[in-house]
Amino acid sequence: MTDPVIKTALVTGAARGIGLAAAKRFLTEGWQVGLLDIDGAGLQRAAAEIATPERVLVLTCDVAMPAQLESAFAGMAKRFGRLDALVNNAGTAVFKPLLETTHDEWQRVMAVNLTGPFLATQLASRAMADNGGGAVVNITSISGLRASTLRVAYGTSKAALAHLTKQQAVELAGLGIRVNAVAPGPVETAMAKAVHSPEIRADYRDAVPLGRYGLEEELAEAIFFLCSDRSSYITGQVLAVDGGFDAAGIGLATLRGERRNL
Ligand SMILES: NC(=O)c1ccc[n+]([C@@H]2O[C@H](COP(=O)([O-])OP(=O)(O)OC[C@H]3O[C@@H](n4cnc5c(N)ncnc54)[C@H](O)[C@@H]3O)[C@@H](O)[C@H]2O)c1
Active site residue 154: yes
Phi, psi of 258 (to 5 degrees): -115, 20
Predicted pLDDT of residue 261: 54
Phi, psi of 237 (to 5 degrees): -105, 150
Name the residue at shortest CA distance from atom 20 of ligand 1: 17
With contact defined as beta carbons under 8 Å apart, do 12 and 90 qualify?
yes
Report the distance separating Cα 52 and Cα 77, nearest Å: 19
To test the pocket of ligand 1, the residue of 11, 38, 150 to mutate (highest count of ligand atoms within 8 Å of its CB) is 38
Cβ contacts of 84 within 8 Å, gap of 6 or more: 7, 8, 9, 31, 128, 131, 134, 135, 227
Q: Is 94 in the pocket of ligand 1 (CB under 6 A)?
A: no
Apex CA 121: angle with CA 117 and CA 125, to 5°? 175
Q: Is 86 in the pocket of ligand 1 (CB under 6 A)?
A: no
Predicted pLDDT of residue 1: 62
Please list the alpha-helical segments (H only) found in the chain.
17-28, 40-48, 66-80, 103-110, 116-130, 152-172, 190-195, 198-207, 216-227, 252-255
The C-alpha torsion from 8 through 85 and 184 to 59, rounded to 10°, is: 60
Cβ count near 113 (within 10 Å): 28
Show pLDDT as tens, one digit a residue, over the chain (262 residues).
Answer: 667 899 999 999 999 999 999 999 999 999 999 999 999 999 999 999 999 999 999 999 999 999 999 999 999 999 999 999 999 999 999 999 999 999 999 999 999 999 999 999 999 999 999 999 999 999 999 999 999 999 999 999 999 999 999 999 999 999 999 999 999 999 999 878 877 899 999 999 999 999 999 999 999 999 999 999 999 999 999 999 999 999 998 889 888 876 555 4
Q: Does this model's pTM top 0.85?
A: yes
Helix, coil or strand: residue 57: strand
User: Would residue 62 be called left, alpha or beta, if left means φ above 0 and alpha means ψ between -120 and 50 degrees?
Assistant: beta
With contact defined as beta carbons under 8 Å apart, do 121 and 168 qualify?
yes
Predicted pLDDT of residue 260: 54
How close is the Cα of 13 to the center of ligand 1, in Å? 6
Name the residue at shortest CA distance from atom 1 of ligand 1: 187
Predicted pLDDT of residue 84: 98
Helix, coil or strand: residue 110: helix
Predicted pLDDT of residue 86: 99
